[in-house]
Structure 1
Amino acid sequence: MRYTRVRAGVAALCAAALLTIYTGTGSLAHGWSAEDETVGYTTIAQDPTLSAVAPEVAMPSGILRTMDGRTLWSRDPDAQRAMASTTKIMTALVVLEHAEMSDVVTVSRDAAGVGEAEIDLRPGQEITVGMLLEGMLVRSGNDAAIALAEHVGGSLDGFAVMMNQKAADLGLSHSSFANPHGLDEPGHYSSAQDLATLSTLAMSDPRFAEMVSQPSVMVDDGQGGAKRYESSNKLLGTYEGANGVKTGWTNKAGYCLVASAQRNDIGLVAVVLGTDSEDERFDEARVLLDWGYEHYRPIEVATAETTAALVPVTDYLDRTVPAVVGESVTVPVFDLDGEISASADVVHEVEAPVLAGQRLGTLTVRQGERLLAQVPIVAVRDVAAPDTWERIEIWFTRIWRSVFGGQLQAPAVPLV
């Protein structure tokens, strides 16, 4: 009896410890709580069992989203944080909107002298917008960012106004931009959620997507030659499907990364903010992307020629036509959002003639409240109208059965 009480006490202490980790002080020690972390649309505070399936990452703020905007996981996604050179995603968007890739930029002394990461621009050097964008996005050149900002906005302040207008247009309510490169400055911040939204839009532009997928880039040195710069994104070429987007680091922001990948027509974007080391941001992004591809994958939710019902043909006494699912449908499904259900809405009866492929209803597939697919249900074969003698026979038979009993029409048979 005493052993039982001791064992129960140990179990209670373990449960209390887990509750502390996911609802209070344990996670708060790392800067977040169970209210901050979601799997799908449910916080761990609402359903503590989700802690067992959530990705094991330590970042203070981050998000994993599909390229079509569905959030699979997040932690404190609206926290306003310094975001370092992930700023350059917005810089590139504004430049692509207001300049041509072939435009020629004359590099100012301010641009050439900014310091930190750079592509060694020289004052007075003439270089195209396209090459500056590649140097800014692949190498993370701050000098390229300033040269582009001055060219498009007239000045750094003018370009910051354009960045903030773009943020407002996109509904990025947790972002404010003070410069084009991301060095720490008052009033310069974003959030994991906003960066995911921004990156998804940027990756929809083929010019941007091509640039950020490059493992290296050649940039004119202003002296008749060119210099190769390697991408700062270590996922490129080392992680299956990795195709972008941008790294960043400052003292205030810590190590940051917006990472994207594409596999089997499924695109994911992972935002990692505020890790303690360069390698950690890549490790955490890998964990998020692996977790995403494990739990969000294509599933066949409707199979062609599955019989949904047997539909009575009213012109006959006992004839039905099979109503089948018209086509197979495969859609990405997040398996942690619950069970998948299907319901068929099929007509109760149909008049002859019936033609093969004639629509008789709709199959609706849902996961909880989320609509996954709606698929036509169709007649599997032709049913001709009865000829004159058949009609006479059916008419007399129905009169007889109306008086003495019997089936006047085949019953509907739902199967889904």
Structure 2
Amino acid sequence: MSSTAERIVSRAWRVCAGLVLGALTSLPELLFCVLTGPALIAPLTRRWTFAGARWLAELERSRIARFLSSENSGDYGNDRAWRYLAARCVVGGLGAGVFVLTVLGALTGVVMLGQLLSGEAVGGGDDPRWYDPIAVVLGGTLLSFLAVQGLLGVAALDRALARHFFGPSDKERLRRRVRELTTTRAEVVEAVNTERRRIERDLHDGVQQSLVALGMVLGRARRALGSAPAPARVEELVRQAHEQSQHALNELREVTWRVYPIALETAGLEVALESLVERSTVPTSLTYALTERPDAATETVVYFVVSEAVTNAVKHSDCTRIEIEVFRNEKVITVRVTDDGVGGATPTGAGLSGLARRVAAADGTFAVESPVGGPTVVRAELPCA
């Protein structure tokens, strides 16, 4: 048996075991709800009733997590635990009914099969009928299908009921959202500061140095004009000054493009990414599958995720090819940048950590997979309207 088949069989047995346990606990839960229902009126007995309901609910939550592979939060009120048990005993009873019918059907099938093998008529009678084998096979197949679907339905109800009741209250959801927004605000501030420092560094190390070199060349040209006639020397210095001015202009254009490319505002994200691909010094391919243009904030984040990821790959990965993918799945835009470099990229590095903060500021998720030897995959998922 293959490993995939073994996993499927193992999972099926685990789910069946979980449903059997759920069927067995449904009767105690039903008795608990019936007996403790009147106790909910008095405040003193209500506290003890909720404590017992919480204990039983935790057992159910553990069962569902272990056997049905559905993790749920333990942050729920005690009153919700009692209401969960009241609904869960119905689902457990339904599962018990499915199991009982399945066992009875299996026993009936064994009896019918024995009658067929012994040459007797199925269901009694003097002579066997020609259609008895067909009826047994078709009936057994149909009942087996219904039994499996019934068990799957009970498992789905069990998971859905747990997701509905085992979760944070509205107040806790609001508290968590406030914490998320507080963290996001801090990420926005840090991302802005990081971007400002990067711009200052680019201006200082690139444009400023080019302008300093240009000033030195012009100073030498001015001194050459004040000295003995040397037209050839002056012409050479003017040529150098012109080249240096062009270099400074290119540096400035590169910095402004990294700050905010004008193509992103005028032509959209696809054109801006195409320009980025054309300017890359490593062969780069782009797969753009967005049918509608995202909002401006999302476009900006997507562009800078791709831009920084490509820049890091070119500088540090020693790659020979980069692949960029931008696509949408329901309400999430996914960005994936893959390079065939040496790998070993750390998400805590300066560039990637800045990207993580920028994505977090947009309520997105950011991940980096970069095993030693490659490939490196930078992935960002951003919500969109």
- Normalised to the residue count of structure 2, the TM-score between the two structures is 0.23
Query: Greater share of strand residues, 1 or 2?
Result: 1
- Normalised to the residue count of structure 1, the TM-score between the two structures is 0.21
Which has the higher Rg, Structure 1 or Structure 2?
Answer: 2
Query: Greater share of helix residues, 1 or 2?
Result: 2
